[in-house]
Structure 1
Amino acid sequence: MNPFSIETTTSKQAVFMNRVYAWMSGALLVTAFVAWWAATTPAFLNVLFPPEGGINKLLFYGLIGAEIGLVFWISARIQKMTSERASLLFVIYAILNGLTLSTLFIAYTTGSIASTFFVTAGTFGAMSLYGYTTKKDLSSWGNILFMALIGLIISSLVNIFLQSSTFYWIVNSIGVLVFVGLTAYDTQKIKQMANQMNSEEEAKKGAVIGALSLYLDFINLFIFLLRFLGDRR
């Protein structure tokens, strides 16, 4: 094997992953800022939490529906849109997610949110580093993690009706494990994507879709860990 080709491939992967992490980090900063702004802006809080009590379900679930639709839209149409549009949609998604996650600032103390964020960052960083550096093929994890994720979603929906605290903690434990595994799996998969990029435009779009995957892993891992580590107000 030509050593030059190995060096070129390694360099290509490093440049691509730097783009992915830059987009992911930027999106997390946008989400954090929007969540903080929304949680500290009385005008928004009055709309989300009306004076008559409770949460504005139409707004809250509307935001969640828009987020889900946007993720599917980006994932399904990424090859048919420009890198600029993909980037814009990713930023819009990060903003919408910030609005929904603002409710965490209402439910949990700021200190516990901050400490959980750092725990999440450390855990995510370690598993992403493992996924990037390991020589082990993690592709076999894909089906297992996907099935576990489907089971996690179904279990969470079932517990809305059961309201079982024991089931709640079991689901949260599984959630942490699933997204820890997905972080390593997705990192390796994204790293391998670098070799499939044949143009600058493809590389830009690939970086966006890769960043979206890791962003989702980070956010979900953070939410599940917060349920364990967060101090409620």
Structure 2
Amino acid sequence: MAWETNGWQTTSPEELNAAQIQESRRAFMSRVYGWMFAGLFITGAMAVYTASSRARWELALSWSIPLLLAELGLVFALSFAAPRLSGPVAGVMFVAYAALTGVTMSVYLLAYTEGSVGQAFLLTGGIFGAMSLYGTFTKKDLSGWSAFLFMGLIGVIVAGVINIFLQNDMMAFVTSCACVVIFSGLTAYDTQKLREVHANHGYSSAATVSIVGALMLYLDFINLFIALIRLLGRRR
């Protein structure tokens, strides 16, 4: 509501505060997406670099278990220790995680045709963009999705581990379909959650919470891509 003061219209304190919150939120989300896209670029570059040399991808394959353990260690450390981390330390950890992910994901460049990889990437970008916009502009509170998404995530993880031993194509197909639904939903949920909690984050710095937010959306994108390439990809 505008106030009239000596013939001039001025902005009320409530409107000014709301505008400041909106501007702060936009700046925060810009940093989040900036870090996320930087992480995706590093992952893609490392995947191409690893896959372009037989010696490199054979070395990566021989070290696949240690690399996966290092990835898990980094992502858990960044997720749980983040409130105590400085911005530069969190940034280095995120970049290292994105690079390691690129090395391990080089297998998809070797297993699937270039056209399949490009198609899956574009489709992932489209779905991610649509769900992120939904999370941004919807008036619906998506917090009610959390229980369903969490249980679904646990379910696909358990099914994926079991299928390592079973190697059942139908289970793999169903799990990939479920992953598309779950990570699409998580994209919208995480986007809305980040927009709402950025001002009261409890982290040591704004840079740290931006990086943690970027990690959340980065993981949604990567897992959505993996599910789609497994569903739609044409093997070499």
Using the size of structure 1 for normalisation, the TM-score is 0.92
- Kept in 2, the 8 Å contact 1:193–1:206? The answer is no
Is 1:202–2:214 an aligned residue pair? no
Match of residue 128 from structure 1: 132
Match of residue 100 from structure 2: 96
Match of residue 25 from structure 2: 13
Q: For 1:25 and 1:84, how far apart are their aligned partners in 2?
A: 18
Is 1:60–2:64 an aligned residue pair? yes
Q: For 1:42 and 1:227, how far apart are their aligned partners in 2?
A: 23
- Kept in 1, the 8 Å contact 2:57–2:106? The answer is no
Q: Does 160-169 or 143-152 show the bigger shift?
A: 160-169
Deviation of the 1:159 alpha carbon: 1.5
Is 1:42–2:46 an aligned residue pair? no
Is 1:163–2:175 an aligned residue pair? no
Partner AA of 2:235 in structure 1: R
SS of equivalent residue, structure 1 residue 139: helix
- Kept in 2, the 8 Å contact 1:30–1:94? The answer is yes
Match of residue 233 from structure 2: 230
Number of matched pairs:
224
SS of equivalent residue, structure 1 residue 232: coil
Q: What is the root-mean-square deviation in Å for CA atoms of aligned residues?
A: 1.5
Is 1:82–2:94 an aligned residue pair? no
In structure 2, stretches of 5+ residues that fail to align are 1-12
Match of 2:178 among 174, 187, 212: 174
Deviation of the 1:195 alpha carbon: 2.1
Match of 1:26 among 38, 46, 49: 38
- Kept in 2, the 8 Å contact 1:64–1:100? The answer is yes
Deviations along 1:69-115, whole A, 9 cap, x unmatched?
A: 11110111111111000001000000000000001111001121011
- Kept in 2, the 8 Å contact 1:20–1:208? The answer is yes
Match of residue 51 from structure 1: none
Q: For 2:155 and 2:59, how far apart are their aligned partners in 1?
A: 34
- Kept in 1, the 8 Å contact 2:94–2:215? The answer is yes
In structure 1, stretches of 5+ residues that fail to align are 49-54
Q: For 2:190 and 2:14, how far apart are their aligned partners in 1?
A: 28
Q: For 2:16 and 2:129, how far apart are their aligned partners in 1?
A: 29
